[in-house]
Structure 1
């Protein structure tokens, strides 16, 4: 007679003993695969940690039994929720997501040729960052919980193992309070003095390189800057890069007209139209690609041409900029990598809560496209 060691029984005994209709457990899988429950856990959460043969037996047992891992049980065992949080700023157009009135069977036809509704500015950038965070969370066997709106950090922090927070989403005091009980990483915020992990991109160098091309290579000295919101850390650093490029080429920064938008296309079109009405600049440097798309709208409406009459540049590298008419010269930032780096920073903080704060700056790339003429 053969005696099996604890956790390693003859394969198939559980199939006969388990009550018909009862939900299979990890013990059932361990019995069916003739392994320990710890091995089942490793095979499910970190497949590379077990041999291929063992992994195949566990997967076959899971398939035959119809086993679904219990997230609450796993969280209790690990003292983790199995989820990360991503907190996005509130958008001004959230009411557009409200459900429409029930259909009466008819389809409305609207002539929108003279009044195109621009794509919302926020999703094009944030969707890419969100996707990067989602994929990285999945790689760590975790889910991603997303909240939208200012001041929601307290609501989400207690439900996740760590929280990634975008700039301008929470006050400094609120961030400090949340960070006291939940690991926090700041996104798109280069104010490293806060003592909290942060991930950002090289905004200053990117904007400096772009403007040095416009001023130095194209010889343009008549510029206007379509800025973002006044409280945006990203915009503040990009303006620093703008100033550095102007100084390097001895262009008086006071000669550059600066107008603030909100990073959105509709507002940018209004601001660009106002600049053109005053006096069209030779180059319009925009704080982001959505603003550059709005500038193209205003320039077309004024009967001017890009780049013949006005050179336009953006920042971000969103896909819409590459398919604009003409395609927009821009600074491409690694948006998906930004989201992924945030999750890895949270993992590192959870692994070592006493480590010094990490401040990661990701590189950017200038993409020259048809909204700028060839260099002189």
Structure 2
């Protein structure tokens, strides 16, 4: 029989006191958000939350509480992490979908951009809420505090093993797999995935879709993963963040005569940066190098050439999240769902026919 994991085991693993672990797991003040995150990550790794009594889950409201007319609002968690804001060309459209659907249903919306767990509870009136929708990455300590409210949770483009929640994603793997197969089918062999696969779950799934298509075409060895020749892990959040690193990389490739046939970018912000860099270096797109993006933000419609990309149904993600939450409110014991929404590939002028190198 396996040994029970205790708070003392977690404390010993981290080199902190049991008192600190207890406060972190109970959501009490006096422990920094960074420490709470470390405690929960370690607790999950050790299996603390998998034990029968390792974590007291907050009870969901009863049916009578759910039907209480005072519960007429949905809490939307959208902390300003990685430019997740209402003005974002990506996240803002998802928020619009949530807002439109809630307005149609006659339900109010409370947006919380606060990242601090200590301030979180001071902002809320839990008795007025019917549920919670998380948009993008939400830190585990904040999600745990949200879960303690005892309300159903739906997460968009994010998941957390500690939080029982329905999740909603674009079909990132299949969409990137199809896009990469298209490039290979039009003659491109030297392709580079541009973006950090560790950045988010969506980026990781897009990288896997790219790599699977490369394996199927015999460009990379199965199970070996993409080598440095096919992977450029640039980091940042917006177009301007990627310019310098892509410029250094592209200039070196051009000097060595080893410029790839296509840059398969993890999102449109990276693709916009790549297009800008290539044009500054007098590298013709798509005649010399094809460029593709992912997400279909409005800026890709205004570039010359227009960027081949994947249209993520952003408004639909928001609307579907509301529908999932409404279902969860009334069917609390139903199995958790992970929903993938299909995307549309937009083949445009930034990707052409591949050339023999």
What's the TM-score, normalizing by structure 1? 0.66
- Given that 1:187 and 1:200 are in contact with CA atoms closer than 8 Å, whether structure 2 keeps it comes out as yes
Tell whether 2:236 aligns with 1:268: no
Aligned pair count?
A: 275
Q: How far did residue 83 of structure 1 move?
A: 1.5
Is the CA contact (8 Å cut-off) linking 2:137 and 2:157 kept in structure 1?
no
Q: Report the CA distance shift for 1:272/1:125 in structure 2 as closer, same or farther (over 3 A).
A: same
**TM-fit CA distance, 1:165:** 0.9
Distance in 1 between residues matched to 2:86 and 2:240, nearest whole Å: 9
Match of 1:287 in 2: 266
Corresponding residue number in structure 2 for 1:78: 68
Q: Choose the corresponding residue for 1:218, options 179, 186, 191.
A: 186
**TM-score (norm. length: structure 2):** 0.70
User: In structure 1, what is the equivalent of residue 157 of structure 2?
Assistant: 188
- For 2:26, the equivalent position in structure 1 comes to none
Go from structure 1 to structure 2 and tell me whether the alpha carbon gap of 1:362 and 1:193 turns closer, same or farther (over 3 Å shift).
farther
Aligned pair in 2 of structure 1 residues 343, 375: CA closer, same or farther (>3 Å)?
A: same
**2: CA distance between counterparts of 1:227 and 1:201?**
18
1:233-291 C-alpha deviation (Å, 9 max, x unpaired): 11011111011111110112213032232241111222321220220322111111111
Where does residue 64 of structure 1 map in the other structure? none
The Cα shift of 1:177 comes to: 4.4
1:341 CA displacement: 0.7
Please report how far the alpha carbon of residue 195 of structure 1 lies from its aligned counterpart in structure 2 after TM superposition. 3.6
Q: Distance in 1 between matches of 2:86 and 2:77?
A: 17
Q: 2: distance between equivalents of 1:302 and 1:318?
A: 25
3-state SS of paired residue (1:326): coil
Instruction: State which structure, 1 or 2, has the greater radius of gyration over its C-alpha atoms.
Output: 1
Does the CA contact (< 8 Å) of 2:147 and 2:163 recur in 1?
A: no
Structure 1 77/336 Cα, relative in aligned 2: closer, same or farther at 3 Å? Answer: closer
Counterpart of 1:277? 251
Structure 2: 5+ residue runs without aligned partners? 1-64, 221-225, 254-258
C-alpha spacing 1:370/1:339, structure 2 compared with 1 (3 Å): same
Deviation at 1:317, TM superposition (A): 1.3
1:200 matched to 2:174: no
Which runs of 5 or more residues in structure 1 are unaligned? 1-74, 95-119
2:108 to 126, 143, 155: 143
| CA positional deviation for 1:79 | 4.8
The alpha-carbon deviation at position 156 of structure 1 amounts to 5.0
